[in-house]
């Protein structure tokens, strides 16, 4: 009788160890997968503004020719003004429109002069002059860039030749595909994707993280 009990207990012990092993492996795989996915949301080389120690980190995949991106840019500006120390934003390129990758290179080159946000806002304000789904007038951008205060045009043109401008954009495109980014803007708030798109929904997601 004792021998049977010992055999049964031994069998249960083996099953317990096996079950724990399966659980541990699956948990490890799951955590690894989540970590990998979260990792590609962020890119340390992407343009980021706001308090670097902010509790809320918003990552936006955007296209400078996207009308909704323009609307949400100014919405975010309002939200950040209400919580200036609690939010930071990272902008990543998703150039779905014709010519947008070239415009992205202008933005990346402008970082050398600290003019990324200034140029982006001017691009958004003047989208009607240059942006189009079918026939963008990219050359029109050069008609208003010289009026941006403090922007050195010669340096901007020279900095556009730096391969890093394309490298950053290509990395964003690659990560965007991996994250299944199919429209702009696409937002991630502290790693959580905004699945139900809309102004109120974005505000609610941000508020839930504050």
Over residues 81-90, the pLDDT tens digits come to: 999 999 999 9
Dist CA 201 CA 93 (whole Å):
22
**pLDDT tens across 140-195, in order?**
999 999 999 999 999 999 999 999 999 999 999 999 999 999 999 999 999 999 99
pLDDT at 133: 84
Q: Is the pLDDT of residue 25 over 60?
A: no
Name 97's Cβ contacts closer than 8 Å, sequence gap at least 6: 63, 65, 66, 131, 133, 136
- Residue 38 — very low, low, confident or very high, per pLDDT cuts 50/70/90? low
- Residue ranges per domain, the chain? 1-41, 47-209
Dist CA 22 CA 115 (whole Å):
53
Say if strands 87-93 and 192-193 run parallel, antiparallel, or are unpaired.
unpaired
pLDDT at 210: 95
Lookup: tokens for 49: 């503004």
- Please check whether residue 194 is in contact with residue 44, taking contact to mean a CB–CB distance below 8 angstroms: no
Q: What would be the CATH architecture of the domain defined by 47-209?
A: 3-Layer(aba) Sandwich (3.40)
pLDDT at 22: 36
Q: Is the pLDDT of residue 10 over 90?
A: no
pLDDT at 36: 44
Q: CB burial class (10 A; 0-12, 13-18, 19+) of residue 120?
A: buried
Report the predicted TM-score, pTM, of the whole model to 2 decimal places. 0.82
- Residue 35 — very low, low, confident or very high, per pLDDT cuts 50/70/90? very low
Say if strands 47-50 and 56-62 run parallel, antiparallel, or are unpaired.
unpaired
Radius of gyration of the CA atoms of the chain, in A = 24
CA atoms within 13 A on the CB side of 99: 16
Dist CA 44 CA 41 (whole Å):
10
pLDDT at 101: 97
What letter does residue 104 receive in the DSSP assignment? H
Beta bridge partners of 116: none
């Amino acid at each position: 009788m004792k021998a049977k009990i010992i055999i049964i207990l031994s069998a249960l012990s083996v099953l317990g160890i096996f079950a724990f092993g399966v659980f541990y492996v699956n948990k490890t795989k799951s955590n690894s997968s989540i970590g990998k996915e979260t990792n590609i949301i962020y890119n340390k080389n992407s343009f980021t503004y706001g308090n670097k120690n902010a509790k809320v980190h918003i990552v936006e995949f955007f296209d400078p020719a996207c009308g909704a991106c323009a609307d949400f840019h100014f919405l975010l500006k309002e939200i950040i003004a209400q919580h200036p120390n609690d939010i930071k934003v990272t902008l990543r390129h998703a150039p779905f429109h014709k010519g947008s990758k070239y415009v992205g290179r202008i933005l990346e080159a402008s970082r050398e002069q600290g003019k990324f946000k200034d140029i982006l806002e001017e691009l958004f304000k003047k989208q009607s002059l240059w942006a189009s789904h079918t026939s963008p007038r990219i050359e029109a951008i050069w008609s208003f860039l010289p009026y941006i205060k403090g922007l050195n045009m010669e340096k901007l043109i020279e900095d556009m030749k730096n391969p890093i401008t394309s490298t950053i954009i290509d990395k964003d495109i690659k990560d965007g595909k991996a994250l299944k980014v199919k429209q702009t803007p696409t937002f991630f708030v502290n790693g959580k994707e905004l699945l139900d798109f809309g102004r109120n929904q974005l505000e609610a997601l941000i508020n839930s993280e504050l």
